[in-house]
Amino acid sequence: MISNKMKDLVNSSSLIRAMFEEGKRLKSIYGPDHVFDFSLGNPNVEPPEEIVSAIHEILREESPSMVHGYMNNSGYEDVREKIAAYTSDTYGTKVGKEHIVMTCGAAGGLNIVFKTLLNPDDEVIVFSPFFSEYRNYANNYNAKLVIVPSDKTSFQPDLKALEKSITEKTKAVLINSPNNPTGVIYSHDTLEKLSNIIKAKEQEYGLSISLISDEPYREIVYDGKEVPYLLKYHTNAVIVYSYSKSLSLPGERIGYLVIHPQFDNVDEVMAALNVANRILGFVNAPSLFQRVIGKTLGVKVDLSIYEKNRNVLFEHLTQLGFEALKPEGAFYLFMKSPIADDKQFCTDAKAFNLLLVPGSAFGCPGYVRLAYCISHDHIINSLPAFEKLWQTYQNN
């Protein structure tokens, strides 16, 4: 009954489902407090109080037909104006409301960007490790994902490898910073070189190549680190943003994209993004939460909880002997598997009720991802299990 493409997708998603079911099974045997589930990137920090206040204020003061009604496919003008002013002020690249589309989260944003840009068989370059949904998003438009490695010591993209991978078929390069799963922020140096390589290749091939940055973790950074702002480096650039993590609102599907005002054929691209938002069935980003965002710009969740988790987990694991880079942002720790087979390592970890995701799921075998967006107590309680897990490899 279902399409051929969906058959493959259902099969591969049943593997993830099986992992999830296995977690449920363990929790039902040992109790949820005794199973340490590091597998899900679901924010555990509560949304800021300002969200509820904003909803109350909107329901009290604004007309219901406006709050819940249709608007332009790219979103309410006043909300886009506020976001344009906020990003222009905060990051120093001036954009207007006409460069912004309100989207159903970053997943919706990436889909309308891909729908707008990609012809069948076009290539989209990503750097491994990468969020596995990118493959499905490209596949939605019959485009091909081309995977370029990152440098294994810094997890910054391997730019030499990038240079060799750009072809006449390359339509876009997709980056993700702060990165899921590595927690790395792409540096000033990386963005500058990345931009130069793309510009040189655009010239060489006489093409437009878009640089797309998926930034749901932009606000989730530690130690006063800053995330360099892509629009300062590159004009054929789009930033896809989501409030899922910065405001702990993943279920509400609210985000936006901002395109550089000097993007090639910017007006046509914006018109196409609007049409794509409509015909893919989003129509518009959910209206009440657009209005909430208009009232809560600059607000973010309490990061100290994630930071405390990161510090304890990183220190403990590296003291044991595990190898990992200290995450600069997001809420993931990407750790080297002590054995080459990362899937086997995840199976071994399960014996200690530790649920981890193999790096293979991110196109980077030999590593595992730990999502530390869980309660701090739970992290503390998991530490002895990691100790026992480490010991099993020392005894061999």
Q: Which of residues 25-44 bind its own copies (CB under 8 A)?
A: 42-44
Interaction between residue 347 and its own copies (CB under 8 A)? no
Any contact of residue 108 with its own copies (CB under 8 A)? yes
Segment 290-309, which members bind its own copies (CB under 8 A)? 290
Nearer to its own copies, 18 or 351 (CB): 18
Question: Is 158 or 252 the residue whose CB approaches its own copies more closely?
Answer: 252
Contact status: 238 vs its own copies (CB under 8 A): no
Per CB under 8 A, does 269 bind its own copies?
A: yes
One of 264, 307, 341, 387 touching its own copies (CB under 8 A): 264
Kindly state the number of chain residues that form the binding site for its own copies, as judged by CB under 8 A: 78
Give per-residue burial for 34-45: e unless 16+ CB within 10 Å, then b.
ebbbbbebebbb
Residues 114-153 that bind its own copies (CB under 8 A): 115-119, 122, 133, 136-137, 139-141
Closest to its own copies by CB, 105 vs 338, is: 105
Please, which residue, 132 or 165, has the CB nearer to its own copies? 132
Query: Residue 110 or 349: which CB sits closer to its own copies?
Result: 110
107 binds its own copies (CB under 8 A): yes
By the rule CB under 8 A, 392 interacts with its own copies: no
Q: Which is nearer to its own copies, 1 or 340 (CB)?
A: 1
Q: Please state the closest distance from residue 280 (CB atom) to its own copies, in A.
A: 6
193 binds its own copies (CB under 8 A): no
Q: For its own copies, which is the closer residue by CB, 193 or 234?
A: 234
- Number of neighbouring beta carbons within 10 Å of residue 72: 14
Q: State the nearest-atom distance from the C-beta of 169 to its own copies, in Å.
A: 13
Q: Does residue number 278 form part of the binding site for its own copies (CB under 8 A)?
A: yes
Q: Looking at 159-167, 187-195, 212-220, 284-292, which segment touches its own copies (CB under 8 A)?
A: 284-292
Query: Taking CB under 8 A as the rule, does residue 205 contact its own copies?
Result: no
Q: Among 14, 304, 319, 381, which residue sits at the site for its own copies (rule: CB under 8 A)?
A: 14
206 interacts with its own copies by CB under 8 A: no
Using rule CB under 8 A, residue 261 touches its own copies: no
> What would the 3-class secondary structure string for the chain be?
CCCHHHHHHHHHHHHHHHHHHHHHHHHHHHCHHHCEECCCCCCCCCCCHHHHHHHHHHHHHCCHHHHCCCCCCCCCHHHHHHHHHHHHHHHCCCCCHHHEEEECHHHHHHHHHHHHHCCCCCEEEEEECCCCHHHHHHHHCCCEEEEEEECCCCCCECHHHHHHHCCCCEEEEEEECCCCCCCCCCCHHHHHHHHHHHHHHHHHHCCCCEEEEECCCCCCECCCCCCCCHHHCCCCEEEEEECCCCCCCHHHCCEEEEECCCCCCHHHHHHHHHHHHHHCCCCCCCHHHHHHHHHCCCCCCCCHHHHHHHHHHHHHHHHHCCCECCCCECCEEEEECCCCCHHHHHHHHHCCCEECEEHHHHCCCCEEEEECCCCHHHHHHHHHHHHHHHHHHHHC
